[in-house]
């Protein structure tokens, strides 16, 4: 099944883009444009979040789960990957399965839109959920994007944890490289984040979770939320 062509934030992740992604995005762009280090800022957040039954939304190449599961002593026994793009799911599943080959970890994939209720039973709850660099890909307005937090809340165990990161909009200073990338990505529809602010995202998190921690590194907002609100 091809990715939806009317959603550039997902369709952009062709096998060729995924081949370049780790170097181009996780190294060059994160280091020099967003100034939020993959190794020093994002990976530690991912690793400290990962629990026995994990849900990863917006998987890209599967870099973060593969790194975390490749290290001895991971608590994770089951990981479910959700993405709108089957190419991302295939690349991530292959990589994560290889990284976790010596451990008995179940890897499932589901093609689904993070903005809609996920195709799991309401009783199917996850101990940890991550969404790294997903929100800036989702078409705005920002209040509408905040639906991803309600989607995550519905699938989260009462003692579970949600974590993620997203690139903020014009409210944060940007160097020339960040300016070029923000302009081209937003023009192409790969990003829709000019108006994304910490305040509005924080409101979306607090509407869905009782404990919310948000911090900004460079141009990225990182977050951690626990205690899903009952509805």
Ligand X SMILES: C[S@@+](CC[C@H](N)C(=O)[O-])C[C@H]1O[C@@H](n2cnc3c(N)ncnc32)[C@H](O)[C@@H]1O
Binding-site ranges for ligand X (CB under 6 A): 9-10, 13, 26, 58-60, 63, 83-85, 88, 113-115, 132-134, 137-138
As measured in angstroms, the least distance from the Cβ of 63 to ligand X is: 5
The DSSP line for 25-90 is: IIIIIIIIIS---IIIIIHHHHHHH--SEEEEES-TT-HHHHHHHTSTT---SEEEEEES-HHHHH
As measured in angstroms, the least distance from the Cβ of 109 to ligand X is: 12
As measured in angstroms, the least distance from the Cβ of 58 to ligand X is: 3
As measured in angstroms, the least distance from the Cβ of 230 to ligand X is: 25
How far apart CA 162 and CA 224 sit, in angstroms, is: 6
Q: What angle do CA 106, 109, 115 make, to 5 degrees?
A: 130
Nearer to ligand X, 18 or 174 (CB): 18
HSE toward the beta carbon, residue 197, CA cutoff 13 A: 6
Nearer to ligand X, 135 or 212 (CB): 135
Nearer to ligand X, 137 or 212 (CB): 137
As measured in angstroms, the least distance from the Cβ of 159 to ligand X is: 24
Nearer to ligand X, 37 or 102 (CB): 37
As measured in angstroms, the least distance from the Cβ of 165 to ligand X is: 7
Q: Are 149 and 205 in contact (CB under 8 A)?
A: yes
Nearer to ligand X, 120 or 227 (CB): 120
How far apart CA 17 and CA 145 sit, in angstroms, is: 24
The DSSP line for 82-138 is: EES-HHHHHHHHHHHHHHTTTS--EEEEEE--TTS--SS-TT--EEEEEEES-GGGS
Nearer to ligand X, 51 or 85 (CB): 85
Instruction: Output the residue with the shortest Cβ distance to ligand X.
Output: 60
Which are the contacts of 73, defined by CB distance < 8 A and separation ≥ 6?
none
């Amino acid at each position: 099944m091809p990715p939806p062509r009317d959603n550039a934030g997902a369709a952009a992740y062709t096998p060729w883009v995924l081949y370049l992604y780790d170097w181009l995005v996780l190294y060059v762009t994160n280091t020099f444009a967003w100034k939020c280090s993959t190794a020093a800022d994002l990976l530690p957040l991912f690793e400290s979040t990962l629990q026995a039954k994990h849900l990863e939304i917006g998987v890209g190449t599967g870099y973060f789960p593969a790194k975390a599961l490749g290290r001895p002593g991971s608590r994770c026994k089951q990981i479910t990957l959700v993405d709108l793009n089957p190419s991302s799911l295939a690349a991530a599943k292959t990589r994560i399965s290889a990284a976790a080959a010596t451990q008995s970890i179940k890897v499932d994939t589901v093609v689904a839109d993070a903005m809609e209720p996920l195709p799991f039973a309401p009783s199917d709850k996850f101990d940890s959920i991550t969404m790294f660099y997903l929100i800036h890909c989702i078409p705005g307005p920002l209040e509408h994007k905040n639906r991803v937090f309600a989607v995550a809340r519905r699938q989260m165990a009462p003692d579970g944890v949600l974590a993620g990161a997203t690139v903020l909009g014009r409210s944060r200073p940007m160097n020339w490289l960040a300016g070029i990338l923000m302009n081209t990505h937003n023009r192409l529809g790969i990003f829709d984040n000019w108006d994304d602010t910490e305040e509005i995202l924080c409101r979306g998190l607090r509407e869905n979770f009782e404990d919310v921690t948000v911090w900004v590194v460079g141009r990225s907002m990182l977050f951690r939320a626990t205690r899903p609100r009952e509805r």
